[in-house]
């Protein structure tokens, strides 16, 4: 009864099996490749004129519906494989082998053939239809996406009614139990996730240290407020209406700024600013009223985010803003350059003669007293936390209880904070370096703060 096999039918079934395994692999590869490929890269390829990239980008922008298409394809291929694969393997390979070994019991033959055929089909399904395509798609996501997107588009259009019905049914079921259907591609990366991605790119050498620093600055930019970035009131070079014009011009020659705030008697009474080009047109030997050259100045609260200050400057076409404290007095001043330096770093011109904000010599780092505590934390891996002050100089002033003579030290978490330069009651520069012995590193800061100074290391 089993000697005459329907070879044509069996061979055809085997061809169908291979096709179904291939289709299963196609949909698996398409699913993983389209999820992994970067949309920005596809956009770049489209801009370069890559025709296949247009299809891949179209699919990637509506990934949810096309992932539904791949799931439908995988399901249909798997069902078809189970339906046609097992009989083909059993009839072509297993049963003839059993007859060759003189196994004649029909029930035994059918049972063994079914089990072996199931194992063979399962192996082919997992290895050829799942694992291999998945690995290929993950490693070559761009190329796989470019080649498979157009066929996937055709499949989607062909089975659109079925895909729409299945998606609608699933969404209806979720809503019925109070769950909002979620998009598989909706979730944007959080700031922390983006930072992790950028750190991994930096470790692999895709981006360099300068690019990584610029990236960090962009994220921190939105968190900074005017108080943290401003030029303090004590450092402001102002012109005064009650001062002779010649003396105000002397300030211009000494400081060489482009713009100067104008105050009445003291810095709490800023009424505007003057531009140096306006002053240069005036005769320096004659007395002039500064209000003749006065321009309106922007006033912002010290708690305003600098990103908003910059937008306000752009809107008002202003390069200068005076920062007002909670009592209505002048806290400091902001310029567009100062704000931009928070992103790109220090911008020096030919008139800048101040030392860099950070100078490193050996294991000693010299920083400005007005450097933010959070920047010092990032630089040295510390966790200084003080809600009362923003700058490292203010932190030392607070901890040393105003005793900020040059050479005074404060010990914290294995580091020495030594005051290197002061101006009256301000800390202008601080030297930071590791404590040389374990005892100093572990000794409470209060016990070490009042020790005599040593020679400045920088």
> Confidence class of residue 439 from pLDDT cuts 50, 70 and 90?
very low
pLDDT of 183 > 80? The answer is no
Q: What is the pLDDT of residue 453?
A: 41
Beta carbons within 8 Å of 314's beta carbon, 6+ residues apart: none
What is the total residue count of the chain? 458
Q: Is 433 left (phi over 0), alpha (psi -120 to 50) or beta?
A: beta
Convert the pLDDT of each residue in 393-414 to its tens digit: 999 998 998 888 889 999 998 8
Q: Do domains 226-344 and 358-448 have the same CATH topology?
A: no
What pLDDT is stored for residue 456 in this prediction? 39
Architecture of domain 358-448: 2-Layer Sandwich (3.30)
**Is 139:29 a contact under the CB 8 Å cutoff?**
no
Asked if pLDDT for residue 239 goes beyond 90, the answer is yes
Query: Which pTM was predicted?
Result: 0.53
Q: What is the pLDDT of residue 348?
A: 62
In sequence order, the 6+-apart residues with CB closer than 8 A to the CB of 193 are none
Residue 445, pLDDT > 70, answer: no
Sign of CA dihedral 67, 72, 74, 77: negative
Nearest to 145 by CA among 68, 212, 227, 59: 59
pLDDT of amino acid 416: 93
Name the band, by pLDDT with cuts 50, 70 and 90, for residue 7.
low
Q: What's the pLDDT tens digit per position in 373-384?
A: 888 998 888 888
Q: At what angle do helices 7-36 and 132-139 cross, to 10 degrees?
A: 30
Which residues, at least 6 apart from 455, have a Cβ–Cβ distance to it below 8 Å? none
Q: Which two tokens stand for residue 3?
A: 């000697």
Q: How large is the average pLDDT for residues 345-352?
A: 63
Average pLDDT over residues 277-303: 87
**199-238 per-position pLDDT tens digit:** 777 777 777 777 787 877 788 888 889 988 898 898 899 9
* Model pLDDT for residues 57-95, shown as the tens digit of each residue: 999 888 888 888 999 999 999 898 888 777 767 666 655
Question: Can you give the pLDDT at residue 166?
Answer: 86
Contact 60, 37 (CB under 8 A): yes
Question: Where do the domains of the chain lie?
Answer: 7-176, 191-221, 226-344, 358-448
**Per the CATH hierarchy, to which homologous superfamily does domain 226-344 belong?**
CBS-domain (3.10.580.10)
């Amino acid at each position: 009864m089993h000697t005459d096999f329907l070879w044509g039918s069996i061979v055809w079934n085997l061809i169908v099996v291979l096709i179904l395994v291939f289709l299963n692999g196609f949909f698996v590869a398409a699913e993983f490749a389209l999820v992994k490929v970067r949309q920005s890269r596809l956009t770049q390829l489209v801009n370069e004129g890559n025709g296949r990239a247009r299809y891949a980008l179209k699919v990637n922008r509506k990934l949810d519906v096309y992932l539904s298409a791949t799931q439908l394809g995988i399901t249909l291929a798997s069902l078809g494989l189970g339906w046609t694969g097992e009989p083909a393997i059993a009839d072509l390979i297993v049963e003839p082998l059993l007859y060759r070994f003189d196994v004649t019991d029909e029930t035994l033959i059918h049972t063994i053939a079914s089990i072996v055929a199931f194992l063979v089909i399962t192996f082919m399904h997992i290895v050829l239809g799942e694992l291999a395509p998945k690995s290929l798609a993950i490693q070559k996501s761009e190329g796989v996406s470019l080649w498979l997107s157009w066929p996937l588009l055709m499949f989607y259009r062909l089975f659109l009614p079925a895909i729409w019905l299945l998606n609608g049914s699933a969404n209806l079921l979720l809503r019925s139990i109070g769950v909002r259907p979620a998009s598989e591609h909706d979730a944007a990366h959080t700031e922390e996730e983006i930072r992790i991605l950028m750190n991994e790119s930096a470790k692999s050498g895709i981006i360099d240290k300068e690019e990584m620093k610029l990236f960090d600055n962009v994220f921190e930019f939105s968190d900074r407020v005017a108080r943290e970035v401003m030029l303090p009131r004590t450092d402001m070079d102002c012109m005064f209406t009650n001062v002779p014009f010649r003396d105000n011009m002397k300030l211009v020659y000494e400081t060489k700024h482009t713009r100067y705030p104008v105050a009445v008697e003291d810095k709490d009474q800023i009424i505007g600013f003057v531009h140096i080009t306006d002053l240069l047109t005036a005769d320096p030997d004659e007395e002039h009223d500064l209000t003749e050259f006065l321009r309106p100045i922007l006033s912002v609260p010290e708690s305003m985010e600098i990103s908003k200050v910059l937008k306000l400057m752009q809107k008002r076409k202003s390069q200068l803003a005076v920062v007002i404290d909670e009592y209505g007095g002048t806290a400091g001043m902001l310029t567009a350059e100062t704000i931009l330096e928070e992103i790109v770093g220090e911008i020096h011109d030919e008139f800048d003669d101040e030392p860099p904000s950070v100078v490193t010599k050996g294991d000693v780092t010299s920083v400005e007293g007005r450097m933010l505590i959070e920047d010092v934390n990032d630089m040295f891996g510390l966790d200084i936390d003080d809600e009362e002050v923003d700058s490292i100089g203010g932190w030392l002033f607070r901890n040393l209880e105003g005793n900020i003579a040059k050479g005074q030290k404060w010990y914290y978490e294995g580091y020495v904070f030594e005051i290197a330069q002061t101006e009256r009651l301000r800390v202008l520069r601080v030297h930071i370096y590791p404590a040389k012995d374990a005892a100093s590193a572990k000794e409470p800061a209060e016990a070490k703060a009042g020790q005599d100074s040593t020679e400045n290391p920088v």
